[in-house]
């Protein structure tokens, strides 16, 4: 079972519409307007833009915490005008929460095992992601 991390802490999964890979949605296994879409970090979001812009939830996979392509995809989707819910899939650690929020993610999905190693307090410590960022410090 997954745990969802938001600015207020840990929460249970609340998305009941399920997730399908973008290829499955485009093949007719789901509907862009009612199905959550799973994106791989190497996905070509321009090729699937029409469907992605209508999706209620997009979950972007992270192969590991050292793979930053998901941050780029999230930022690009927001710049393209995506207004739905963006979720970072499992693979991030608590230290990356603020970066995920700045990139445009609304929430992060983590495993129960990670939640045991990095409890809620560690994630909440980083929930004030708007108060500090490296660029603001350099400009100040």
Structure tokens at 41: 């970090």
Classified by CATH at the fold level, domain 2-139 comes out as TIM Barrel (3.20.20)
pLDDT of 131 reads 61
Structure tokens at 25: 């949605």
pLDDT of 140 reads 63
Q: Which of 102, 107, 118, 115 is nearest to 68 (CA)?
A: 102
- What's the pLDDT tens digit per position in 61-112? 998 878 899 999 999 999 999 999 999 999 999 999 999 999 999 999 999 9
Contact (Cβ atoms closer than 8 angstroms) between residue 71 and residue 103: yes
Q: What is the mean pLDDT of residues 3-31?
A: 90
Measured distance CA(91)–CA(103) in Å, rounded: 16
Instruction: Name the residue with higher pLDDT: 65 or 54.
Output: 54
Structural domain boundaries in the chain: 2-139
pLDDT of 52 reads 95
pTM as predicted = 0.89
| Pairing label, strands 85-88, 57-60 | parallel
């Amino acid at each position: 079972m997954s745990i969802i991390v938001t600015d207020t802490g840990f929460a249970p999964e609340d998305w009941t519409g399920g997730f399908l890979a973008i290829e499955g949605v485009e093949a007719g296994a789901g509907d862009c307007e009612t199905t959550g879409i799973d994106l791989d970090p190497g996905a070509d979001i321009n090729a699937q833009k029409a469907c992605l812009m209508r999706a209620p939830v997009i979950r972007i996979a992270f192969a590991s915490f050292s793979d930053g392509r998901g941050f780029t995809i999230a930022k690009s989707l927001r710049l393209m005008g995506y207004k739905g819910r963006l979720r970072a899939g499992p693979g991030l650690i608590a230290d990356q929460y603020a970066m995920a929020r700045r990139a445009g993610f609304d929430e992060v999905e983590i495993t129960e095992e990670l939640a045991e190693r990095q409890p809620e307090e560690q994630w909440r410590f980083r929930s004030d992601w708007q108060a500090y960022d490296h660029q603001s410090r350099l400009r100040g």
